[in-house]
Chains A and B, each alone.
Chain A
Amino acid sequence: MISKRMIEKIGFSVLGILTLLAVLPVLGIIAYLVIRGCAALSWEFLTQPPHNFLSAGGVFPAIVGTLLLTIGTILVALPLGIGTAIYLVEYSERNLFTAVVRTAVVNLAGVPSVVYGLFGLGIFVLMLKLGRSLIAGVLTLGLLILPIIISTAEEALRSVPEDFRHASLALGATRWQTVRYIVLPSAMPSILTGAILGIGRAAGETAPIMFTAAAVYMPGLPRSIFDQVMALPYHLYVISTTVPNVPEHMAFGSALVLLIIVGGLNFAAVVLRLRMRLKRMKLSR
């Protein structure tokens, strides 16, 4: 008969092996991508526009486009998101309006990105006549990451001890002074972590910008917010599926650059969060 101890050992071992089986191959594939991509990376690849129907040259306009899109996105989403979170945590009462806002946030988070693309096409590109443009893409992506910003900011604000608020109010500070000088400074690092995660998401999205902003090919950089832009994720999609005869290393190179941008952002967020956790541990000691 197998003892209880043996069953326990076997059970947890199986789970452990499953975990490694789930994680290691993905890491292996990504390592493979990094190796293949590194071979394609060169100064020229990073600084030149593509030529010969995307089959040669570099990805410079796509990098710039992606950076512009992400910067614009955060400019749209951060004020709206933080404002909403502040309202929900610091001002809202238990009433219908608050309940509806919460439901809206949760449901916005569940809307598929391609539907955001349709929405952006309908409202920004066509109705507001912005055309396929940087600004239309930025607005679409901004709304897409809004729920992420709201939820993370809300969590950050709630983690500020209620004691601080009471102390400030008891000193005769107004609600807003309390938020502005006590709550926000304490919550800011966590809010920024959420913002970085949001940016990372925006940088990698493809479907929402396909109909609203992205160009298959642009000879130069966009000159205004009403120009179309190239974007790395869309570029990767185009060269790996719809354009024939693109050498594979071009695609691996593009994928790696995209991964570095997005991974870098996520990594920054993880490090920031870890540092805060350590700091909090020190303080509570």
Chain B
Amino acid sequence: MGTKEVIITVESIKPKFFEKLIQNILKLTAGTTILVLFLIFFFLLKEGYGIFSYVSLRDFILGTQWLPETTPPKFGALPLIKGSLYVTVGATLIAVPIGISVAVFLAEAAPPMLREVLKAVIELLAGIPSVVYGFLGLTILAPFIKELFNLSSALCAFTASIVLALMSLPTIVSISEDVLTTVPKEYREASLALGATKWETTLKIVIPAARTGLIAAAMLGIGRAIGETMAVLMVAGNAVMLPHSFFDPVRTITANIAAEMGETVHGGLHYQALFGLGIVLFVITFIINFLTNILAADKLGMKRGRYL
């Protein structure tokens, strides 16, 4: 039997070459993601850095006057940064407790049919474009709030917070629900077997076990709220001034970029200033993302794609 022909040969180089080619094309494709992220940052810097020779970074961030049309123009972004802060904090205070409550209800108490229906509804709510949320906030919610609180105008941080909260709810609920359902059944059973009620088990075992995942869910929701543009542009009132209460009109960083970019001249100071705002925004969201990731990359893992 040892006289058989040598059976292992490099029979053809071509398929191997084709394999390598495919692998390299795919690798190149994957590499574009790095390139794009780099280019985004590069273009923000390239178009925006000029503003920092006009105002210092410190004055840009802490300056209280944003007056791009005056001579000389003033570019202090603090009112915008505070605007973003107000709206985001407001939205977080509303959305996180409600979102997690809803998630707990869905994961622990809702009958299966109701849960599936609600999950589908929430998924559909997540798909509603922000401009539609903005439009509804403008035409339905704002007049309602104006009546309710007897305001002269309801286009303010408070209204924007509610709209933003509604928009980030689906994100927070979906992730939290997922995180809660991945808490091992054994934990629950062990607690129930000790005579705890389901409610006690939920409060004392399930929620603590899911803690980091829930925080990550909240942070992703916050990240969404900070970056949101159209809805806040439409309902936050758009006044570039330092807010003192939630019922003051505000303009956020995002809204300001969207509102003013149309009036700028390419390469002009105002144009550069708006890209400067872009840098600030990019850095803020980058940090939030980074924190969320080190907190719970493994908890979110692949599932992230659904909530983007």
Say yes or no: B258 contacts A262, CB within 8 Å: no
A263 proximity list for chain B (CB < 8 A): 124, 127-128
Interface hub of B108, B198, B304 (most chain A Cβ within 10 A): B304
B187 within 8 A of A: no
Q: Is the CB of A151 within 8 A of B308?
A: yes
Q: In whole Å, how far is A74's beta carbon from the nearest beta carbon of chain B?
A: 16
Secondary structure class of chain A's binding surface, majority of residues: helix
For chain B, residues 172 to 230, give those with C-beta under 8 angstroms from any C-beta of chain A. Answer: 197-200, 202-203, 223, 226-230
Given contacts A11-B199, A207-B258, A255-B135, contact A122 B129 (CB under 8 A): no
**Least CB separation from A145: chain B residue:** B308
CB distance from B38 to the nearest CB of A (A): 8
Contact of B305 among A15, A22, A150, A175 (CB under 8 A): A150
Query: Are B169 and A12 in touch, CB under 8 angstroms?
Result: no
Q: Is the CB of A87 within 8 A of B106?
A: no
Which residue of chain A is the closest to B238 with respect to CB atoms? A241
What chain B residues lie within 8 Å of A87 (beta carbons)? 26-27, 29-30
**Do A107 and B140 have beta carbons less than 8 Å apart?**
no
By size class, the interface of chain B is: 35 or more
Asked if A84 and B29 make an inter-chain contact with CB atoms under 8 angstroms apart, the answer reads: yes
**Across the interface, do B281 and A101 meet the contact criterion of CB distance under 8 Å?**
no
Tell me if B166 is interfacial: C-beta within 8 Å of chain A.
Answer: yes
Beta-carbon contact of B36 and A143 below 8 Å:
yes
Number of A-B residue pairs with CB-CB distance less than 8 Å in the complex they form? 277
Q: What is the bound-complex CA distance between A8 and B195, given in angstroms?
A: 13
Q: How large is the interface on A (under 10, 10 to 19, 20 to 34, 35 or more residues)?
A: 35 or more
Chain A residue at minimum C-beta to C-beta distance from B166:
A26
Chain A 2-30 per-residue mask, 1 if CB under 8 angstroms from chain B, else 0? 00110110011011101100110011011
Contact partner, A207, options B23, B166, B229, Cβ 8 Å = B229
Determine if A5 and B197 form an interchain contact, defined as CB atoms under 8 angstroms apart.
yes
Q: Determine whether B132 belongs to the interface, using a CB cutoff of 8 Å to chain A.
A: yes
B33 is an interface residue with CB less than 8 A from chain A: yes
Taking a contact as CB atoms under 8 Å apart, the answer to whether A204 and B128 are in contact is yes
- Chain B contacts of A79 at CB under 8 A? 29
Q: Is B145 an interface residue (CB 8 A)?
A: no
The reply to whether the CB of A258 lies closer than 8 angstroms to some CB of chain B is yes
16 A-B residue pairings within 8 Å (CB atoms):
A12-B108, A15-B109, A18-B105, A27-B121, A32-B140, A87-B26, A106-B289, A114-B254, A116-B40, A151-B304, A204-B131, A210-B261, A259-B132, A263-B128, A267-B124, A270-B123
Known: A100-B34, A206-B229. 14 other contacts (CB 8 A): A15-B102, A23-B102, A83-B25, A111-B282, A112-B226, A112-B227, A115-B285, A118-B274, A122-B47, A148-B308, A175-B19, A176-B22, A207-B230, A262-B129
